[in-house]
Amino acid sequence: MQKATRQTNRWSNRLAYILAATGAAVGLGNIWKFPYITGQNGGGAFVLVYLVCILFIGIPVMMAEVALGKHGRHTPGRSVLEVAKSSGKSHWWSLVGWMGVVSGYLILSFYVVITGWALAYIYKAGAGDFGTGDPKQVQALFADLTNDGWALLGWTSTVVLATVLVIGKGVKAGLERAVSALMPLLFLLLLGLAIYAASEGDFWAAFHFMFAPDFSKLSINGVVVALGHSFFTLSLASGIMIMYGAYLPEGVSIAKSSVWIAFFDTLVALIAGMVIYPVVFANHLEPGAGPGLIFQTLPIAFGQMPGGRLVGVLFFIMLVFAAFTSALALIESSVAWLVEKRGFGRWQAAFAAGFGIWLLSLGTIASVSNMPIAIFHTPWGEVHFFAILDYLTANIALPIGGLLIAIFTGWVANKALMADMIDAPWVFRLWHPVIKYLAPLAILLVFLQLTGVIHL
């Protein structure tokens, strides 16, 4: 019956698709990661490079992925295979789709852990655990959570279970319904928080930090992080946009919808920055605090500000909504694959995929709670399993996956077929040289520079 990705599963309409894809894109990447990597990489110049990556690489790669899915109408590996077959090319190209699914699965294994932190923080904020914002107390709170393997396991398991319960219901009754409710709420919360931050925080310090570029603060590693993040934040090279493209109703423009999705995603990241930084600067806190920024730094401010308790609760609710719609996206391809290829029922597939994620998440849990099995001693010092997983997926696997997608759709796939998918001819004429030359070249240059092969 479910061989049937082809006939049965479609988003209800254009809006439902845009909401779902925006839900996949907007997540921890926008609210947790973007602000802290901006802080670590010196602000404005990093933001500028990131915006350039979104515009010239992210959007074209997103269009390529959605087109692959729409032509293939199957899970990512199979969709790429269909396009390769229609183009008379080797079936090995299906690995491009597969690589995405594997990267997405690995990302989800740590994503559910961080989403668990956010869930725990709704509770902590509401219980008044940030106190009066004493930095020591707030830091101890974070350390207590991350050192407590059992607590992490509990929060993570809750997130995995919730994901399974929604995704098991199916694409329309589960996924589409959940995002249609959560995304508008998310936007409202974000706007409310931005108004609060602008009135209570130091708006101009934040604005200057985020939008006045100082290139002396940007390293080549910063450029790699910006490129990797542009893939991460748009959910590219992780199978998702191919999968969501497979559910695309006829008549929806791939180009226009991709621009909208990227626009909303970028807007949320920039607004999230303008929620977090005014508060950080007004309270003389450190912008480069790293992954703990919103868990260790922001709560200090919430503890000290008027209405901070309620605002803290709302902030972490918003974060959970954002993360949850991405978690749903991240598990969808594996579930759809189990149904399509392994003949599982939808519920069975959801539980099986969820169980696998839960097992893998134990690695990240062990890592953040400093268990010795997750810490490796290397010539470069101690490295944690979570840090390796994060770096390998976001900064290596996603850009390389994106490179392969660009090469496949720009050089390998039949040009007429791609032109047929990327609807308007003038859009295709713009898109094609970008995906054929500009995107692969830019990704390659950044990598060669990183590995020290070249020095620009």
- Applying CB under 6 A, the residues found at the interface with ligand PHE are 24-25, 27-30, 104, 107, 232-233, 235, 238, 240, 326, 329-330
Minimum distance from CB of 393 to ligand PHE (Å)? 8
Nearer of residues 331 and 349 to ligand PHE, judged by Cβ: 331
Minimum distance from CB of 99 to ligand PHE (Å)? 13
In angstroms, rounded to a whole number, what is the distance separating the alpha carbons of residues 83 and 24?
Answer: 24
Minimum distance from CB of 219 to ligand PHE (Å)? 23
Nearer of residues 60 and 402 to ligand PHE, judged by Cβ: 402
Nearer of residues 25 and 175 to ligand PHE, judged by Cβ: 25
Burial call 323-346: b when 16+ CB within 10 Å, e when fewer: bbbbbbbbbbbbbbbbbbeeebeb
DSSP letters spanning 273-299: HHHHHHHHHHTT--TT-GGGIIIIIHH
Minimum distance from CB of 238 to ligand PHE (Å)? 4
Minimum distance from CB of 21 to ligand PHE (Å)? 10
Nearer of residues 200 and 265 to ligand PHE, judged by Cβ: 265
In angstroms, rounded to a whole number, what is the distance separating the alpha carbons of residues 31 and 165?
Answer: 25
What residues contact 394, with CB distance under 8 A and at least 6 apart? 107, 228, 229, 231, 232
Nearer of residues 330 and 422 to ligand PHE, judged by Cβ: 330
Nearer of residues 103 and 297 to ligand PHE, judged by Cβ: 103
Nearer of residues 303 and 399 to ligand PHE, judged by Cβ: 399
Residue of closest CB approach to ligand PHE: 29
In angstroms, rounded to a whole number, what is the distance separating the alpha carbons of residues 127 and 183?
Answer: 26
**Helix (H) or strand (E) segment spanning residue 378:** strand 375-378
> Could you tell me which of 106, 123, 120, 124 has the C-alpha nearest to residue 152?
120
Minimum distance from CB of 266 to ligand PHE (Å)? 11
Nearer of residues 107 and 282 to ligand PHE, judged by Cβ: 107
| Burial class (CB within 10 angstroms; exposed 0-12, middle 13-18, buried 19+) of 230 | buried
In angstroms, rounded to a whole number, what is the distance separating the alpha carbons of residues 152 and 114?
Answer: 9
Minimum distance from CB of 4 to ligand PHE (Å)? 24
In 209-301, at which residue ranges do the beta strands (DSSP E only) sit? none
Minimum distance from CB of 88 to ligand PHE (Å)? 31
In angstroms, rounded to a whole number, what is the distance separating the alpha carbons of residues 101 and 121?
Answer: 30
Beta bridge partners of 381: 378
263 with 30: CB under 8 angstroms? no
CA angle at residue 47 from 42 to 48, to 5 degrees?
115
